[in-house]
Amino acid sequence: MVVKSICCLGAGYVGGPTCSVIALKCPEIKVTVVDKSKERIAQWNSDKLPIYEPGLDEVVKASRGKNLFFSDDCDAAIVEADLIFISVNTPTKTFGNGKGRAPDLKFVEGAARMIANVAKSNKIVVEKSTVPVNAAESVMKILKANQRPGVSYQILSNPEFLAEGTAINDLLNADRVLIGGEETAAGEAAIEELCKIYEHWIPRKKILTTNTWSSELSKLAANAMLAQRISSINSLSAVCEATGADITEVARAVGLDSRIGPKFLQASIGFGGSCFQKDILNLVYICECLNLPHVAAYWQSVIDMNQHQKHRFTAKVIESLFNTVSGKNICILGFAFKKNTGDTRESAAIYVSKTLIDEGASIKIYDPKVEKPQIYEDLKYVGVTDEQFQRHVTICNDAYLATKECHAVVLCTEWDEFVTLDYEKIYDQMMKPAHMFDGRKILDHNNLLRIGFHVETIGSRLGQPFKNRRYSINPQVV
Ligand code: NAD
Ligand code: UDX
């Protein structure tokens, strides 16, 4: 089979950018991205795309209407396609068996059933969604049980490693592409077809082929290990704050060891995003089901440490404001889970905001790419009532309005524009003493101290002498 037509089920953060890049790089292939949400498809066909991602507009505009199409007619796109990506959401289950840990595979199953119901010719079906190990077997069972005469399927696993905010660069310059498939002649032929697509722009030596289960597990393993680095550095940031060491210096010293490397050692308010927590919970659940409780507990601790970091940071805000934020105005700078995205899934800012609201603070939120309806939904989801939202939350269109008359600023997202704000101006319009909590370690702390701010950050004690009396390197003196 030579792939002439691709369909992608799911026009989300992965399906949209990935297939736009495939269309750009493979002009001879027709790429149709479909979604059951008509609204999302309408946005993909408009000037305002449903997701903000640097470089995405240009890539979409280059191919849309030529060989790249966004449609809500899922059946027609499936019938026409030789190769189908399943790129639907796989959220953590919120009910039933495995609640709070196992991924809910109902959308993957739904996608498999849609394919089985309408396919009239042979298809290569590619799992792009992040799934538990052995999920491909379930997809195959559904397809085979509903197979029409003369139609055959090959299932491949091709997990996506892009990070939001850098998706287009990650797709164009992927460290590697991973393709898992059946170890049969037909399986290898299908793998080869998918390799040929990526080879339009990815060097062959960066395309790894494995068995299906290794590919599925590698995706969970990569995310677990990335998150584990963040939890490790965040755990050490607590030691720094208690001792006078500085986490930036420690991260630099540790990261210069070529066996460790410098990336993903940025201490923070805690990791967010739709993947890390969900995928580690998925791994934990698999380990529990496999009767590997020690392995499960090991990976669970990465999430526990992340929760602790968010809690620790928020507790520090409250403690520094004389143990009460009731009736105080607090500005939240940044609501997205990282810079250069409008995505707020699992953003640490949600936890911080909810806690401060519960403590009676009024919060003023500004994020360059997150709009009011999204913030409302996120806070409602964690239990902020409509009444609390009306009384305690103001969404602002710029950082100066958001900081005006506030007692404190809590920086939650590392947007570049926050680095270059006029902090003298901000200080002048704030209540005194003016507090700054830099949850991302991006600001010039010496300058802020010089202006007059009380500054707190992660992993260092700014301008304060070492004074933890309970600690001594000589245990007898404790
Ligand atoms: P998303 O929620 O942004 O998009 C998923 C889309 O699938 C939704 O628009 C939904 O309407 C659609 N959908 C669900 N069932 C469908 C069906 N049967 N037919 C057509 N459309 C259907 O999700 P996402 O962030 O793009 O993630 C997709 C998958 O990729 C997940 O498994 C995720 O873990 C994985 N992943 C995500 C990222 C990331 O950065 N977001 C990175 C790597 C992998
Ligand atoms: C992640 C993986 O990086 C990507 O490979 C996978 O495909 C999807 O999940 P994403 O969640 O989009 O990508 O962004 P990422 O850059 O990994 O950041 C995740 C969170 O960790 C963010 O909240 C970020 O601010 C935080 N982070 C990242 C840190 O706190 N410190 C770091 O050093 C790096």
For residues 297-303, give the mean pLDDT. Answer: 98
The Cα 202–Cα 196 span in angstroms is: 10
Ligand nearest to the CA of 310: 2
Domain range for 55: 5-202
Write the pLDDT tens digit of every residue in 74-89. 999 999 999 999 999 9
State yes or no: pLDDT of 51 exceeds 70: yes
Residue 367: name the closest of 413, 403, 321, 325 by CA.
413
Are residue 87 and residue 29 in the same domain, yes or no?
yes
pLDDT of residue 478: 37
Q: What is the per-residue pLDDT for 413?
A: 98
Residues 44 and 191 in one domain: yes
420 with 449, same domain? yes
Q: State whether 231 and 155 are in the same domain.
A: no
Three-state secondary structure along 260-278? CCCCCCCCCCCCCCCCHHH
* pLDDT per residue as tens digits for the range 354-391: 999 999 999 999 999 999 999 999 999 999 999 999 99
Is the predicted pLDDT of residue 469 greater than 60, yes or no?
Answer: no
pLDDT greater than 90 at residue 466: no
Nearest CA to ligand 2 atom 15: 163
Residue 423 has pLDDT above 80, yes or no: yes
pLDDT for position 473: 55
Residue 305 has what pLDDT?
98
User: Whole-angstrom Cα distance, residue 347 to residue 334?
Assistant: 10
Instruction: Specify the length of the chain in residues.
Output: 478
The pLDDT assigned to 472 comes to 55
Provide mean pLDDT across the span 46-72.
98
Residue 474 has pLDDT above 80, yes or no: no
Of 144-153, 364-373, 400-409, 418-427, the least confident: 144-153
Ligand 1 pocket, residue 222 CB under 6 Å:
no
On whether both 284 and 174 belong to a single domain, the answer is: no
Query: Last residue of some domain: 168, 202, 236?
Result: 202
Report pLDDT digits (tens) over 272-297.
999 999 999 999 999 999 999 999 99
- Same domain? For 193 and 292 the reply is no
Task: Inform me whether the pLDDT recorded for 168 exceeds 90.
Answer: yes
Residues 197 and 333 in one domain: no
CB atoms within 10 A of CB 471: 13
* pLDDT given at position 461: 87
User: Do 224 and 175 sit in the same domain of this protein?
Assistant: no
Residue of 274, 283, 374 with the most ligand 1 atoms within 8 Å of its CB, for mutation:
274
298 and 325 both lie in a single domain: yes
CATH value at residue 87: 3.40.50.720
Domain end, chosen from 156, 185, 202, is at 202
| Secondary structure element (H or E) that encloses residue 217, with its range | helix 212-243
Instruction: Using the predicted structure, report yes or no on whether residue 467 has a pLDDT greater than 70.
Output: no
Shared-domain flag, residues 292 and 188: no
Are both 197 and 326 inside the same structural domain? no
**pLDDT of 470:** 52
Strand, helix or coil at 181? strand
Return the exposure string of 202-211: e unless at least 16 CB atoms fall within 10 Å of the residue's CB, then b.
beeeebebbe
Residues with a CB atom less than 6 Å from ligand 2: 160-164, 223, 226, 230, 264-266, 268, 271-273, 275-276, 337-338
Does 255 belong to an annotated binding site? no
Flag whether pLDDT at 465 surpasses 50: no
Clarify whether residues 128 and 179 are in a common domain. Answer: yes
Q: What pLDDT is stored for residue 477 in this prediction?
A: 44
Residue at which a domain ends, from 202, 229, 256: 202
Q: Using CA positions, which residue lies closest to atom 5 of ligand 2?
A: 161
Residue nearest to atom 11 of ligand 2 (CA): 273
User: d(Cα 473, Cα 267) in Å, to the nearest integer?
Assistant: 25
Indicate whether residue 164 lines ligand 1 (CB < 6 A).
yes
> Which strands, in side-by-side order, build the sheet including 329-333?
393-395, 362-366, 329-333, 408-411, 435-438, 454-457
Average pLDDT, the chain: 95
Domain count, the chain: 2
Summarised one tens digit per residue, pLDDT across range 189-246 is: 999 999 999 999 999 999 999 999 999 999 999 999 999 999 999 999 999 999 999 9
Which atom of ligand 1 is nearest the CA belonging to 111?
Answer: 18
ipTM: 0.98
Residue 167 CB less than 6 A away from ligand 1 = no
